[in-house]
Amino acid sequence: MRTTADPGGPEPRAAQPAPRPAAQPAARAVQASWIEPAPWQVAAVRRESGDVVTLDLTPPEPFEFLPGQFNMLYLAGIGEVPISISGDPRANTEVLHTIRDVGPVTKALCALRPGQQVGVRGPYGTSWPVAAAAGGDLVIIAGGIGLPPLRPALYQALTTRPTCCSLSSSPPGGAGSTWMCR
């Protein structure tokens, strides 16, 4: 394609895509986990407030994530929503998601009971750069339902900063949540 700024000369040739190597079986399995939700079991449900619930989900195999990442939670026939992971990144046998009931999918997720299953895809997204705060002060400020997505960053900071001196909080999603670390 020519532009008015480049009126002459031959048109450049489109680059030919490089041949793709054959996919390995393990690579196909990883790709499938990003496409199809895996069934995870609800291990526990904690009512945090009138419209907020924390689901303790058990993955079918060890699960790793970084602070700030999220999963897609799916209920057949209802839908799928992105929900931040709100637990400790070191606990690969339980994965927490704190959810506010604001629509049809989150309402159904908040109604789940232990033993039921939910489809999960992920983790997705980039992480909080907690390691970049090493040697400096760290301030985490959040209110209401904004605190649960930051909890993994706080857990990581507490793990990597043994000089933390005070920590206090009201229930996740509750008013007046305060977390202090020096």
Q: Does residue 21 fall inside a structural domain?
A: no
Q: Does residue 149 fall inside a structural domain?
A: no
Rounded Cα distance between 70 and 84, Å, is: 4
Residue type, 76: A
Q: Does residue 181 fall inside a structural domain?
A: no
pLDDT single digits (tens) 59-90: 999 999 999 999 999 999 999 999 999 999 99
Q: Does residue 107 fall inside a structural domain?
A: yes
Please check whether residue 173 is in contact with residue 145, taking contact to mean a CB–CB distance below 8 angstroms: yes
Q: Which pTM does this prediction carry?
A: 0.72
Query: Is the predicted pLDDT of residue 127 greater than 50, yes or no?
Result: yes
Tally the domains of the chain.
Answer: 1
Q: Does residue 86 fall inside a structural domain?
A: yes
Q: Does residue 154 fall inside a structural domain?
A: no
For residue 83, give its domain range.
36-124
CATH number, domain of 64, equals: 2.40.30.10
pLDDT at 165: 43
Query: For the chain, where are the alpha helices, taking DSSP H only?
Result: 25-35, 104-110, 151-160
